[in-house]
Amino acid sequence: MTKFEHIHVVPIGTALGAEIQGVDLSEPLQKETVIEIQKAHAEFGVIFFRDQSLTSQEHLLFARSLGTIDINRFFAPVDGHHEIAEVRKEPTQKFNIGGGWHTDHSYDDSPALGSILLARELPEHGGDTLFASMYAAYDALSDGLKDTLSHLKAVHSSRHVFGPQARLPKDLNNRLQNANDATQDAIHPAVITHPISGRKALYVNPGFTLHFEGWSKEESEPLLSFLYKHASSPEFTCRFHWRKNSIAFWDNRCTWHYALNDYHGELRLMHRITLSGGPLAA
């Protein structure tokens, strides 16, 4: 495990997740602190900060200290801040955003590095987010299946989730936009090497992966179903209980996440800034 000198890192699970303490994200960060935050992010897959009462401007400055912002074209933006996506569920709405296992932007040729999600308004109970480690999921596979997967690529798409054919439930309409821009399909290795940690991670997900390249959907389905069941095993996951002003910063290259929808009749409002990544390699 990496040694940290500028931040205090408290793991919250065995497979992934750590809380970062001793940092005030409303202040400009020293270069050494940013480097350690990036290391912790790659090592733990998702990192959490508590009690960060940030303005949108401070949220943006923190994001920019870590990389370049990738504006999600499908999420409605926060008023006055087009680079911040709103993840909202009103008391009258039934469907939430992100309510199933997925990794963001795998439908892009250069998938996003990760997102920085800040809790603005929370239900009294519920609304937790689950995370799963694709390092741990990959490590636990047999050598035989690892070898098979090392020869496979998978096709990912945004069309069936955000496109006109997705037939989104009406109460999601005002929260998602640009359905006609959902034209992206991308092909990535089924197992990638993480660009920073150098570790292998399983890179297929139930939200956006369609099938293996050169395989039909029917042929792909049994293996994908096995991998999804395997990768979402409780021992590869952690669960984050939000408090107002908590932040989760996850790495899309080595994790999945799942926003629980168990707080009907209450408001949950989160602000999300997504960071650009790069092409992924086996």
Active site residues: 102, 104, 257, 272
Chain position whose Cβ is nearest to ligand SIN: 98
Give the separation between CA 61 and CA 41, rounded to whole angstroms: 18
Give yes or no for residue 238 binding ligand SIN (CB under 6 A).
Answer: no
Q: Which is nearer to ligand SIN, 211 or 257 (CB)?
A: 257
Out of 113, 186, 259, 275, the only residue in the binding site for ligand SIN (CB under 6 A) is: 259
**Residue 9 region by backbone torsions, left for phi larger than 0, else alpha for psi between -120 and 50, else beta:** beta
Q: Which is nearer to ligand SIN, 99 or 278 (CB)?
A: 99
Give yes or no for residue 98 binding ligand SIN (CB under 6 A).
Answer: yes
| Start-to-end Cα distance in the chain | 24
C-beta of residue 190 within 8 angstroms of C-beta of residue 202: yes
Q: Which is nearer to ligand SIN, 101 or 138 (CB)?
A: 101
Q: Which is nearer to ligand SIN, 98 or 189 (CB)?
A: 98
The angle that helices 31-44 and 56-66 make with each other, rounded to 10 degrees, is 80
Give yes or no for residue 72 binding ligand SIN (CB under 6 A).
Answer: no
Give yes or no for residue 37 binding ligand SIN (CB under 6 A).
Answer: no
Q: Is the dihedral angle over the CA atoms 171, 177, 242, 203 positive or is it negative?
A: positive
- 126: three-class secondary structure by DSSP: coil
Interface with ligand SIN (CB under 6 A): 87, 97-98, 115, 117, 129, 257, 259, 270, 272
